[in-house]
Amino acid sequence: MHSSFDTRQWHLSLRQYFFGHKHCYLCRQASLDIICSCCLSDTALPHFAVPGFDLIHHPSIVENIVYPYFNHLYALGEYKGILRQLITELKFANKPLCAEVLATLFVHFTYTRMSQLDDLPDALVPTPLSAWRYAQRGFNQARLLTQALSRFTDIPIIEPLKRARHTQAQSQLDKTDRLANMENAFCLVDDIDCDHIAVIDDVLTTGATVNSACKAIVSAYPDIRISVWSMAVTPLTKPEILKSAYSSGDI
């Protein structure tokens, strides 16, 4: 006779079979999960030394990023390899399922450790796109990531930010111009009733975009604590990675 737990698990498996995934996104083998257990164990992710480590304390990251308006930075890994492929497919190949893949990896490798070391945010905030870029792309990749992360972590989503103006693509600019481009690019459109939030974005290079978003929040809520969750970070001390990313237009 099944216990109540076994019955719930059976119903979950049945629902996944009929309505869920039929194969692993990475290896294409049969799987009820979007990433099979083998790929979770064996995929060579470009992790930092300690997955889930607060990168604010990582010298090769923070010496060249802008971050006075957020307190913590967590990322799945460096912007290369499988992470670069998934982010590129999400943003430019119209493959929104990649958001769930990235969120699955983030929760498995980064969130697990982060949740043990730091108190978790009260809400998740997607970095907004301009209306023009949203119309051009048809979706906001940061919102898709936030929705997936919220499902996996049970942390609610709030959207207090909007783009105050359309900005030039950051990939076309150097660090100084990126900062000027994002100045006053965001504004608050709703109240925030939280002590700690996590701002979500796909990839962080100089940090100009996400820092501008955080500045708009801190200007209204100076005591709020902000974590940034990014699927990938480009260490600017590695010129070959930056050059490759810029030339491809990925960032």
Residue-wise pLDDT tens digits, 34-53: 999 999 999 889 988 888 89
Residues 7 and 116 in one domain: no
Contact predicate 141/91, CB 8 Å: yes
Predicted pLDDT of residue 183: 60
Kindly report the pTM of this predicted structure: 0.80
The number of CA neighbours under 13 Å toward the Cβ of 59 is 0
Residues 26 and 74 in one domain: no
Residues 1 and 99 in one domain: no
Name the average pLDDT for the chain. 81
What domain range includes position 172?
44-248
Residues 48 and 37 in one domain: no
Query: Is residue 236 scored above 80 in pLDDT?
Result: no
Q: Which of 163-172, 178-187, 195-204 has the lowest mean pLDDT?
A: 163-172
Contact predicate 247/217, CB 8 Å: no
Residues 34 and 156 in one domain: no
Residues 157 and 179 in one domain: yes
For residue 45, which of 88, 73, 81, 85 has the smallest C-alpha distance? 81
Q: Grade residue 174 by pLDDT with cuts at 50, 70 and 90.
A: very low
For residue 217, which of 30, 38, 71, 107 has the smallest C-alpha distance? 71
Residues 100 and 203 in one domain: yes
How far does Cα 94 stand from its chain's mean position? 17
Element spanning 36, H or E: none
Report the pLDDT averaged over residues 126-136: 84
| Interatomic CA distance for residues 209 and 200, integer angstroms | 11
- pLDDT of 196-223, one tens digit each? 999 999 999 888 889 999 999 999 999 9
